[in-house]
Structure 1
Amino acid sequence: MTSRTSRNRSHRRLHRDGRPPAARSSRGPAALLLTAALAASLLTGCGSTGAADPVVVRVSAPETPAPVDPARVAATATATSAFGLDLLHTLTAAPDQAGRNLVLSPSGLATALAMLLPGARGATADELARALHTDLAPEQYALATGALNRRVPPTDGLTLRQSDALWAQQGFPLGQDYLRTLAAAFDTGVHTTDFAKDPDGSRRTVNAAVEKATEGRIKDLFGKGAITSDTRLALTDALYLKAKWASPFKAAHTSDRPFHRLDGSAPNVGTMGQTGTFRYAEGSGGILGEPWQAVELPYEDGGLAMDLVVPAQGGFAAFAKGLDQAQLDTILGALAERPVDLTLPRFRFDTADDLVPALRALGVAAAFDAADLSGLTGPGAHESLRVGTVVQKATVQVDEEGTVAAAGSGVGVVATAAQAPRQAVELHIDRPFLFLVRDTTTGRPLFLGQVTDPQAG
């Protein structure tokens, strides 16, 4: 497998073209100096050819990223993990949702919201910052998030791409300060399209870019009706990971073994096995309540790993519901190398969620109702804006070779008049468990989820 983290700089000169763009994945900061001509093109959308053929505005940028305070980067990684746990709890709070398989990308959604936050003001900005667990200024949070996104170096065993894009209505006046922040933090291009005249064509164009950036794994991020003629901006993050285990499982050791589901049934599922030295921990009682075991499976690159947290049989629901950031830190901090006789079911599934209800439950209200997003706009803006939709689709596949996972996150910003859319000691993982794919240096979670039924798609 070819190693890459998509750090190319092939589009460093300011240009426009009429082709549907691949989601941008270069990550260096940009000093966005808007000339009068560029400002005019953003204000008028001149040269745009419509939803199927968007204009792409990109700017020159220095080759060396601007330094970001390491303390801010570390705080943002911790904040993203806490945000991810909040989302996990909220999305599984309802009785009919608690037992489902789930995968989400905390870093993907946090990045999309980090692109929105510098344009928010007042209560809108305060609520978003609280939900994201950050007390950094919006511009600082965006820069720290961007630094995290470009942190993992390329290796032979890893493909990791995180691509961001801002899609704007033709003629919509974007503020220069806002664009400067996005360029410095995420080096993202601005794509203009005609939401007003062709909302569904625009939706298909945005979705196609996300699909391409995720190797076809995330399709139709924005569903029918999510993009309307009132949409003015769409912010997207696309994350794709393909990573080999540092210690692969041998296919000859995979066999059918029972997996004890939450409902008491125990079907046979394809289960991998190996004995080796892994970082392992276990505990019982204390702040974590239920007995648990945990193991960390490193990927070949050495900088990313999958952590598996396995509560005792019958204790999954209470454990998962009570797990918070301090408890997760306790588990991960207790990991130490020892021989482990490990079994793990293969699994693959997708999830898709409308995240507006989850964010409302986390205290974000103003962004969807009486929003102040005035920091997005420049001179000539005559419409009030609010967030109309927040969506994420994610997929994960775990087998003998490693992990393939992808996620698309999207935020749709609409004119106010639009309607609101309503995871040798013996550890045999034969019961529901939580999983976390994270950067082992910063702790930032790329993916987080739970497996309650490995056979469920």
Structure 2
Amino acid sequence: MTNRSSGNRRGAALLLSATLAAPLLTGCGGSGAAPVVVRASAPATLTPVDPAQVTAVSSATSAFGLDLLHALAGTPDGASRNLVLSPSGLAAALAMVLPGARGATADELAKALHTGLTPQQYALAAGALDRRIPPTDGLTLRQADDLWAQQGFPLAQAYLATLAAAFDTGVHTTDFKKDPDGSRRKVNQAVEKATDGRIKDLFNEKQITKDTRLALTDALYLKAKWASPFKHAHTSDQPFHRLDGSTPAVSTMRQNSTFRYAEGSGGILGEPWQAVELPYADGGLAMDLIVPAQGGFAAFSKALDQAQLDRILGGLGDRQIDLTLPKFHFDTSNDLVPALHVLGVHAAFDNRADFTGLLGPGTSERLKVSAVVQKATIQVDEDGTVAAAGSGVVMVPAAGAPTKAVQLRIDRPFLFLIRDTTSGRSVFLGQVTDPQAR
């Protein structure tokens, strides 16, 4: 497992498998033994990533996240439920898949990810984004990417080298064929550990089987303090207007302070809206809250795209805000295969799949993706935010402020995103329709 919270890339140049001459994985004696991590050799000095490509992938990841949110909210129960997802987490997992894809399989994945970069360029830029924010006293942001392979399954040296250069990671070997349940527990435990225990059982027993050849995971953990914390004494029960018209009393925070704020009405989005940005203590991350007018949430959310989101965020300016915000804490678990189908990814999941770019010599076995899952959790209270996400891919054989305060009562469904305020990349994204729902 690779922990990139410190932003230090030195480990990627000091690779463990200097004796690995061929692109064939040599693994542990069985799934009961400790997994062996295999890495490809890499240059002593890594090639710098083009800043323009990092910016492009940041923007692409945010657009990808909105597409996923729309796809999930478009399901029969999706529009009315709380949702949290990690665009950057799933994008990183797919960035490990993309360099092995060829033909239509690669084209569909790249289109869904909104990128015109080569797979190697995309992976390198995604890895650079993951390392961008170092930890501080007020912020912990960890992201770990891993690939688990069937013992003895051959992977191409060039593919291993891309993983090493982009994510400073190797390949854990295990025996899915002999002990799929034991292997599944190891993968899940690694994700659970990387997310400080917040994401448990990422894969279920139907997703990791004796037919599994590869399992790719991204684990993301965030703990951040508000730059301007809410005072616990100011928290009280206030009504929240659910989509069904009910108004339960929910635990609601309040403070009057200067925040970046914007509002608008009409235009493409139709419904009036208000938006506010709450910075975290380190200054590099912030939570943006976008609140459509009462009764307008569904239409607004459906119409929101990346260009309109950019305009909203670009219009934020300092204002004195009398703000109320409900506390919320909930989990989301999503099978993302249907959502990716909506985004045009099809070939990767059937016998047309072409992942020959990751296969080493000595195998005639073709692979396809059998599962794409993500579990995420978020907790927002007076002190700040704790959030985590686990993303997984399984591969199997194929066939100037005014003095008067603006009032912003967040007492109705709203959208939120946690973003890197420098690059703009969405780290977490979601909607809150019921703060009491878990």
Q: Same fold (TM over 0.5)?
A: yes
Structure 1 Cα separation of the partners of residues 147 and 337 of structure 2: 19
Q: Mark the CA change 1:64 to 1:39 in structure 2 (over 3 Å): closer, same or farther.
A: closer
AA at the equivalent of 1:382: S
Secondary structure of the structure 1 residue equivalent to 2:348: coil
Match of 1:274 in 2: 255
* Residue 238 of structure 2: aligned partner: 257
Map of 2:80 onto structure 1: 99
Residue 37 (structure 2) aligns with: 56
Name stretches of at least 5 consecutive residues in structure 2 with no aligned partner.
400-404
Alignment partners' CA distance in 2, 1:71 and 1:46: 39
Pair 1:434-2:434 in alignment: no
Quick check: 1:318 aligned with 2:299? yes
- Structure 1 236/44 Cα, relative in aligned 2: closer, same or farther at 3 Å? closer
Q: 1:28 touches 1:184 (CA, 8 Å); kept in 2? A: no
Once the 2 structures are TM-superposed, how far is the Cα of residue 7 of structure 1 from its aligned partner?
2.9
How many angstroms does 1:178 deviate by?
0.5
| 1:389 matched residue in structure 2 | 371
Note if contact 1:368-1:386 (Cα within 8 Å) is conserved in structure 2.
yes
2:284 pairs with 1:303: yes
| 8 Å Cα contact 1:30/1:59 also seen in 2 | no
Instruction: Provide the C-alpha distance between the structure 2 equivalents of 1:273 and 1:142, rounded to a whole number of angstroms.
Output: 42
- Residues 61, 169 of structure 1: CA spacing in aligned structure 2 closer, same or farther, 3 A cutoff? same
Is the alpha carbon distance of 1:30 and 1:391 closer, same or farther for their aligned partners in structure 2, counting shifts above 3 Å?
Answer: farther
> Could you tell me how far apart the structure 2 residues matched to 1:169 and 1:155 are?
38
Aligned partner letter, 1:333: G
Percentage of pairs with the same residue: 75
- Paired with 1:57 and 1:322, the residues of 2 have a C-alpha distance of 46
- Could you tell me whether the CA contact under 8 Å between 1:84 and 1:105 is conserved in 2? yes
In structure 1, C-alpha distance between the alignment counterparts of 2:45 and 2:332, rounded to whole Å: 37
Q: Displacement of 1:50 after TM fit?
A: 1.9
Shift of 1:38: 1.7
Residues 1:301 and 1:335: Cα distance change in structure 2 (over 3 Å) = same
User: Are 1:120 and 1:374, in contact at CA under 8 Å, matched by a contact in 2?
Assistant: yes
Moved more, 150-159 or 297-306: 150-159
Equivalent residue, structure 1, for 2:6: 7
Superposed CA offset, 1:171-208 (max 9, x none) = 10000000111110000121000011111111110000
What TM-score do the two structures reach when normalised by structure 1? Answer: 0.91
* SS in structure 2 of the partner of residue 284 of structure 1: strand
CA contact under 8 A between 1:28 and 1:63: conserved in structure 2? no
- SS of the counterpart of 1:196? coil
Task: Give the Å deviation of 1:364.
Answer: 0.3
Q: Is the 8 A contact 2:6 2:134 kept in 1?
A: no
The corresponding residue for 1:79 is: 60
In structure 1, what is the equivalent of residue 131 of structure 2?
150
Contact persistence 1:28–1:64 (CA under 8 A): no
> What is the identity, as a one-letter code, of the residue corresponding to 1:388?
S
1:89, CA displacement in angstroms?
0.3
Q: Would you say 1:359 and 2:340 are equivalent positions?
A: yes
Matched, 1:207 2:188: yes
- The DSSP-based 3-state class of the residue aligned with 1:295 is strand
The whole-number CA distance in structure 1 between the counterparts of 2:106 and 2:11 is: 25
From 99, 123, 129, the counterpart of 1:118: 99
CA distance in 2, matches of 1:289, 1:198: 55
CA distance in 1, matches of 2:288, 2:168: 31
Q: Is the 8 A contact 1:5 1:154 kept in 2?
A: no
Partner of 2:117: 136
1:408 counterpart (372, 390, 396): 390
Is this contact kept in 2: 1:394–1:407, CA < 8 A? yes
Q: Tell me the TM-score normalised to structure 2 length.
A: 0.94
Q: CA–CA distance in 1 between the matches of 2:7 and 2:114?
A: 32
Secondary structure of 1:448's counterpart equals strand
Once the two structures are TM-superposed, the CA of residue 381 in structure 1 deviates from its matched residue by 1.3
Q: How does 1:164-183 map to 2 (within 5 A)?
A: 164-183=145-164
| Contact residue 16 and residue 38 of structure 2 kept, 8 A | no
Distance, in Å, in 2 between the alignment partners of 1:65 and 1:152 is: 19
Q: Deviations over 1:292-342 (max 9, x none)?
A: 000000000000000000000000000001110001001000000010000
Matched position secondary structure for 2:92 = helix
Q: Aligned residue pairs: how many? A: 430
Match of 2:362 in 1: 380
Q: Distance in 2 between matches of 1:171 and 1:161?
A: 30
Report matched runs for 1:62-73 at 5 Å: 66-73=47-54
Aligned-pair distance for 1:115? 0.3
CA distance in 2, matches of 1:328, 1:28: 37
Q: Kindly state the Cα deviation for residue 361 of structure 1 after the two structures are TM-superposed.
A: 1.0
Residue 51 of structure 1 and its aligned partner are, at CA, apart by 5.0
For the 8 Å contact 2:160–2:170, the answer to whether it is kept is: no
Q: Secondary structure at the match of 1:367?
A: helix
Q: Who is 1:421 aligned against?
A: none
Q: CA deviation at 1:65?
A: 5.3
* Structure 2: distance between partners of 1:67 and 1:353: 35
